Amino acid sequence: MQFAKKIESIFKKTLPAPFTIAVLLTFTTIVLALFVTEDTYTKYNIINILEFWERGIWHPPLLVFAIQMMLMLVLGHVLALTKPINFIINKFTSFCTNTAKSASIITFFTLLVSFFNWGLGLIFGAIFARKVGEFATKNNIKINYPLIGAAGYSGLMVWHGGISGSAPIKIAEEGHFLADKIGVISQSETIFSSMNITLSIILLITLPLLMYWLGSNSKEKNIKLTISENKKYNKTIHGAEKLNHSNLIAYLFGGIILLFAFYKAFVLPDKISTSIITPNYINLVLLGFGIVFHQNFYNFLKAIDNAIKGASGILIQFPLYFGIMGIMKDAGMVQIMSDFFVNISNEVTFPIFTFISAGVVNIFVPSGGGQWAIQGPIIIDAASQLGVSIPKSVMALAYGDQITNMLQPFWALPLLGITGLKAKEILPFTLILLIAGSVIFIGGLLIF
């Protein structure tokens, strides 16, 4: 616990807001581009560097990527706010009669949901943790609420290895920004590879058991939370406003979307393939389920208003990361850094170095998509030079990116807001998850 407090203190003193970090990284990259590349054949001045930066910011494929990631977070959040998801949470809450049971159950289902969609998993875990806290308050049950909150956040340490992981789904899409170097790589080689499936199963078994053990050995106390209630309003609806509240139209529109998604996945192709799972396809399915589960457009749009705040970081930070990538690419820094990795690595150690470096970068760039834009070209070039498997290298980056979410509290903000907890309260337990996950991921990268 003392170690966790020291880490929290260091974060508070050294890490400004994520947007400020993105700006500082931009300045750092500009300075490096001016001096690190001075021994190359081409000498760049500040105007050249700023031109590289501008091209990167407004690079069309990368802006499409930013919108895709925003929609994935928002639509996943919207789905988590629906009645069916809330019904499932309430059903399992009745089994959460002590800390150990609660922590293990929440961890298992949060991990499972996060494998499908990171936005859905994040909000699902947060709401689940809150419901367990309210259940304990209502029934006067003593629990370790911070541990429950950490369990609800556990999905962020597995999301990038799931079907909404930024790097794996992006390289499975036609025309992605690295397609000229690696082509299109199916998710059968990344997310659905034997390595990732094996590690995912191990995580689904070991992490809930670990949280059960922590819950059995933790201090419990009574908590007092405000019990949330679904308020019903009697409102007279007039004229065309009835269309906004029409269940029929929502079911019809959402149903058409889901039927078309089913047709694309199971009827149109000659055989079922993971290549269908792209950012656009995931968002299409989330949109359909979100509309159908909210039952009308009024409820759906209210949920959108609630969820859109969480996407502000992606909207304003991603272009800055793309600018950094533009400088690194056009100024030749990608090649320089790739050569550095090649010089210190071999075929065995390169995935481990990738995992560690991705974990460090994630502390400063708390976005899988933004990190892929910056670090992806470096990893791909180095892996190509060393003859290391590209899919394995991509997954090593994904594992490193996701694991330090247990240390970097940026994505925990929605959970902290919903549960009423503070980052310093869940950090001791998320650090334990980080250590356990690191052992599993490094072991997998060495074995496979």
Lowest mean pLDDT among 41-45, 86-90, 246-250: 41-45
Find all residues with CB under 8 Å of 398, minimum gap 6, and list them.
160, 161, 165, 166, 167, 168, 190, 358, 368
pLDDT of 177 higher than 60: yes
Lowest mean pLDDT among 28-37, 129-138, 332-341, 342-351: 332-341
- Nearest residue to 133 via CA among 352, 421, 428: 421
User: Got the DSSP string for 138-195?
Assistant: HTT--B-HHHHHHHHHGGGGTGGGSTT-HHHHHTTSTT-TTHHHH----TTTTTTSHH
Q: What is the distance between the alpha carbons of residues 391 and 383, in angstroms, rounded to a whole number?
A: 10
CB 417, CB 194: distance < 8 Å: no
CB 199, CB 404: distance < 8 Å: no
| pLDDT score recorded for residue 6 | 67
CB 160, CB 398: distance < 8 Å: yes
- Nearest residue to 207 via CA among 140, 292, 109: 109
Q: What is the distance between the alpha carbons of residues 404 and 151, in angstroms, rounded to a whole number?
A: 15
| pLDDT score recorded for residue 329 | 79
Provide the CB-side half-sphere exposure for 175 (13 A, CA): 6
Q: What is the mean predicted confidence (pLDDT) over 210-229?
A: 85
Cα torsion angle, 189, 194, 197, 198, sign = negative
- Nearest residue to 32 via CA among 332, 362, 323: 332
Q: Residue type at 137?
A: T
CB 204, CB 193: distance < 8 Å: no
| pLDDT score recorded for residue 442 | 97
CB 22, CB 365: distance < 8 Å: yes
Q: Model confidence over 352-407: pLDDT tens digits?
A: 999 998 888 887 777 788 788 888 998 999 999 999 999 999 999 999 999 999 98
* DSSP tag of 228: P
* DSSP tag of 405: G
What are phi and psi for residue 45, nearest 5 degrees?
Answer: -105, 180
Q: Model confidence over 30-79: pLDDT tens digits?
A: 988 888 765 554 677 889 899 999 998 998 887 887 888 788 888 888 88
Q: What is the distance between the alpha carbons of residues 407 and 56, in angstroms, rounded to a whole number?
A: 29
Written as six digits, the tokens of 63 are: 């802006």
Cα torsion angle, 41, 42, 43, 46, sign = negative
pLDDT above 90 covers a percentage of the chain that reads: 45
| pLDDT score recorded for residue 2 | 61
Written as six digits, the tokens of 130 are: 């809150």
| pLDDT score recorded for residue 173 | 87
Q: Model confidence over 91-127: pLDDT tens digits?
A: 999 899 999 999 999 999 999 999 988 888 888 998 8
| pLDDT score recorded for residue 235 | 64
Q: What is the distance between the alpha carbons of residues 267 and 262, in angstroms, rounded to a whole number?
A: 7
User: At 265, is the pLDDT very low, low, confident or very high (cuts 50, 70, 90)?
Assistant: confident
Q: What is the mean predicted confidence (pLDDT) over 165-171?
A: 91
What pTM value is reported for the model? 0.79
User: At 322, is the pLDDT very low, low, confident or very high (cuts 50, 70, 90)?
Assistant: confident
Written as six digits, the tokens of 92 are: 């399992």
